[in-house]
Chain A
């Protein structure tokens, strides 16, 4: 069983290496969106650092949503999804494996890019560290919940555009607490409570979302 899970992760990561455009595009999008805010609103350091938490998190959310369509679509189109469903490996675990591999290409890279975002938005170093922690704990939840949207729309021709509409309300709790954590760090307050709550959301997502994703995938393949 675990060999199947590891096989799925290594295959997806291998495929990601061979088509680097797929995962580089959302990352470029992330940096570009962040750069738009100083241009559109204000470039004064005080204002930028005040809204930095929200800006980075909205950019991260949009990047994750942008990349989500590729989670299942290629597998659906070439029949690999069918094979995943037919295999004796338990589908929720396979789903977790795929989302983990996908997160390595999106959320993990976003977390690694967050120091650049902190630089662009004039965040002090300790707040940048807090930002990175919230991204580390929050982006997996974003990936898991968006995966539900990806699975529900994979059999639709232009399903990718629906994923944000379906899942944005579900991302609100993570968004609220992650940005509150950055705000607290900016004010010199402790952030452990917020991180604990984000971790709790993550645990809840890891436990429950694979079941919803598995049900949606069975529906997509079986009709």
Chain B
């Protein structure tokens, strides 16, 4: 369970949002919405401790993540705006390295299975530089099935994915939620009205004026 209380983010001397509270329980998918520049990426980066928040606390399973960051990080898979893949390495090499980094040593068989699941069977040993943008994003998403973390934090995961891929990704999100996981994502993708989604609108947390 992810709980966030009284978060305030300042970027470049401008307050992006303040007094932000929300909870994300297992089985929930939350979409962060807001116009460009409202702080969606800042929020995700702040949760992952990439950028400090001006004030506020983040709790994972009741424990403050600032006091015990590695405990939190071991339970999260974060795929940022940039994919984090090295172009000169193959898909398998990239995913193997990333799983080592997460301290979850995956076997080659697991990695190949994950790549097959995201539809990249046959592309496992090709350097990433030779794949299309959509294929690269699928490699990045394959991490989710290797690491099997309860919390997925995804920044614009639908970028560059074709129609079939979009359907697949939506299915994966729902499956993950149904198995007790939770997802926090930012995206401009328009979901179906019956998609089980919660919305967090950051513009409502923007300060009217400075005091």
Do any CB atoms of chain A lie under 8 A from CB atoms of chain B in the complex?
A: yes
The majority secondary structure among interface residues of chain B is loop
A84–B82 alpha-carbon span in the complex (Å): 13
Give which listed residue, A74, A77, A82, A87, contacts B73 with CB less than 8 A.
Answer: A87
**B63 → A minimal CB distance (Å):** 14
Residue B144 at the chain A interface, CB threshold 8 Å:
no
Residues of B within 8 A of A221 (CB): 45, 50-51
Give which listed residue, A3, A14, A85, contacts B50 with CB less than 8 A.
Answer: A85
> Chain A interface (Cβ within 8 Å of chain B)?
1, 3-4, 7-8, 11, 14-15, 18-19, 74, 77-80, 82-89, 218, 221-223
B45:A83 contact, CB within 8 angstroms: no
Q: Given A4-B101, A222-B51, is A79 in contact with B85 using a C-beta cutoff of 8 Å? A: yes
**A214 → B minimal CB distance (Å):** 12
> Chain B interface (Cβ within 8 Å of chain A)?
11-12, 42, 45-46, 48-52, 69-70, 73-74, 76, 78, 80-89, 93, 97-98, 100-103, 105
Residues of A within 8 A of B102 (CB): 87-88
A218:B50 contact, CB within 8 angstroms: yes
**B47 → A minimal CB distance (Å):** 10
A79:B80 contact, CB within 8 angstroms: yes
A1–B74 alpha-carbon span in the complex (Å): 12
Residues of B within 8 A of A84 (CB): 101
Q: Which residue of A lies closest to B136 (CB)?
A: A78
Residues of A within 8 A of B11 (CB): 223
Q: Given A78-B82, A222-B45, is A83 in contact with B98 using a C-beta cutoff of 8 Å? A: yes
Residues of B within 8 A of A80 (CB): 84-86
A74–B50 alpha-carbon span in the complex (Å): 18
Closest 10 CB pairs of A and B: A79-B82, A222-B51, A7-B100, A83-B84, A79-B84, A88-B70, A87-B101, A88-B73, A222-B50, A18-B88
B103:A4 contact, CB within 8 angstroms: yes
A82:B101 contact, CB within 8 angstroms: no
**A34 → B minimal CB distance (Å):** 31
A88–B69 alpha-carbon span in the complex (Å): 8
A173–B86 alpha-carbon span in the complex (Å): 37
A170–B198 alpha-carbon span in the complex (Å): 52
Q: Given A18-B88, A88-B74, is A82 in contact with B50 using a C-beta cutoff of 8 Å? A: yes
